[in-house]
A and B are shown apart, each in its own frame.
Chain A
Amino acid sequence: MKFRFASVVLLATVLMWTACKNDDDDSMGDDTLYERLGGTEMVSDPANPGQMIEEGRLAIRSVVDSSIFVIAADPDLLGFFAPLLAELSGGNTSNLAALSKNFTDFLSVEAGAQNASYTGMNMSDAHDPSTNPRMAMTADDGDFDNFIAAIVTGANQNNVSANLIAELGVILEDSRSDVVQE
């Protein structure tokens, strides 16, 4: 009798789960953006063979890394990243890795990652040349628009769906007042 009752409960739970689950819809439920990008499910890290990474973090890092390419090829954004590009031309890749990690951390936390933390400068100080010597100059709204466009291009390259890109855009837009200081 107990076994039959448990079976019914189990079956009801499975039916409820499968009825509500819809893999094709990115906007269903209360899942965070991080969860809808893959969440905490561990997958192999293509950049580091033999290591595992959360799928959500991998998705965000892929967007960040692709966006860095777009930024490096954008003459309008070059001025802000000249120190980094100069280092890279000289073979120093440590600050590229730091930028990728910091930006991935920042976006992961903002997207709702539970296992991530951002320990970099706050957005205002990070974009103020007087507090961050690596920031060559202050940014205006046009610069920030170009930056958002670079992130969207990077996200598109990684086949992130339009509504998730829009959510990413909302996260970035929230920091506009701190980033734009001109």
Chain B
Amino acid sequence: MMTRIKKSTRTILLLTIALLSFGTYLYHLPGAIAATGPQIQLSRIDFQEPIDSLSARRVKGAILAVSGVQQTYFNVPDRIVVFSHDPKIVSADAVLQKIQHKFAFQAERFLPDLPKNSSSCPVTGQNSIFVRMGAYLRRTL
């Protein structure tokens, strides 16, 4: 009887350690979303045609008016606008669509290549099941 209780205790202890280790691992995955505070994403839109400073100001104002967008910076000579936004409220693609709908400029989102150190390993890749699971758990816990 005592042996069975000891075995059960040991099993529970091992399971607890395994769960805690897995939780700690998920927490430190590079693709996981930060646990606290608003999730701010930085996104960039490149314009394919010249933009004067007045048009840039209008575009900037239109981006700032989108709910969830917090801050913008427009590099007029290089036709690049960068903005921070809460992806839970508005996605970068949605912001781009609103701008394209409102203005006739040709523009597209700038998506840099993923760095080698995060894409080479399938376990820590941005779209791996572990990263997505970690992000999901951190959103819900």
Q: Is the CB of A72 within 8 A of B114?
A: no
Residues of B within 8 A of A65 (CB): 71
Closest chain-A Cβ to B4's Cβ sits at a distance in Å of 45
Q: Is the CB of B112 within 8 A of A89?
A: yes
Closest chain-A Cβ to B25's Cβ sits at a distance in Å of 15
Q: Is the CB of B42 within 8 A of A72?
A: yes
Q: Is the CB of A68 within 8 A of B31?
A: no
CA distance A19 to B124 in the complex (A): 62
Residues of B within 8 A of A87 (CB): 30, 115, 118, 126
What is the number of contacts between chain A and chain B, taking CB atoms within 8 Å?
87
Contact of A74 among B33, B34, B78, B92 (CB under 8 A): B78
Q: Name the CB-closest residue of A to B78.
A: A75
Residues of B within 8 A of A142 (CB): none
Contact of A85 among B30, B42, B84 (CB under 8 A): B42
Tell which of A48, A73, A85 has the most Cβ of chain B within 10 Å: A73
Specify the main secondary structure of chain A where it touches its partner: helix
Q: Is the CB of A93 within 8 A of B34?
A: yes
Say yes or no for A115: interface residue by CB 8 A criterion.
Answer: no
Q: Is the CB of B42 within 8 A of A68?
A: yes
Those of B99-120 within 8 Å (CB) of chain A: 111-115, 117-118
Contact pattern, A 112-127, Cβ under 8 Å of B = 1, otherwise 0: 0000000000000000
Residues of A within 8 A of B117 (CB): 83, 133-134
Closest chain-A Cβ to B116's Cβ sits at a distance in Å of 9
Closest chain-A Cβ to B107's Cβ sits at a distance in Å of 14
Q: Is the CB of A94 within 8 A of B73?
A: no
Residues of A within 8 A of B42 (CB): 68-69, 72, 85, 88, 93, 96
Closest chain-A Cβ to B42's Cβ sits at a distance in Å of 5
Contact pattern, A 76-118, Cβ under 8 Å of B = 1, otherwise 0: 0010001101111111111011000000000000000000000
Residues of B within 8 A of A90 (CB): 31, 114, 126
Q: Name the CB-closest residue of A to B76.
A: A73
Residues of B within 8 A of A48 (CB): 37
Could you show 13 A-B contacts with beta carbons less than 8 Å apart? A66-B71, A69-B72, A72-B42, A75-B78, A75-B80, A86-B115, A87-B118, A93-B40, A94-B30, A94-B32, A94-B34, A96-B40, A133-B117
A87-B115, A93-B34, A157-B73 given; name 20 further pairs at CB < 8 Å. A65-B71, A68-B42, A70-B73, A72-B44, A72-B73, A73-B73, A74-B78, A75-B78, A78-B112, A82-B112, A85-B44, A86-B112, A86-B114, A86-B118, A89-B111, A89-B112, A91-B87, A92-B30, A92-B31, A94-B34
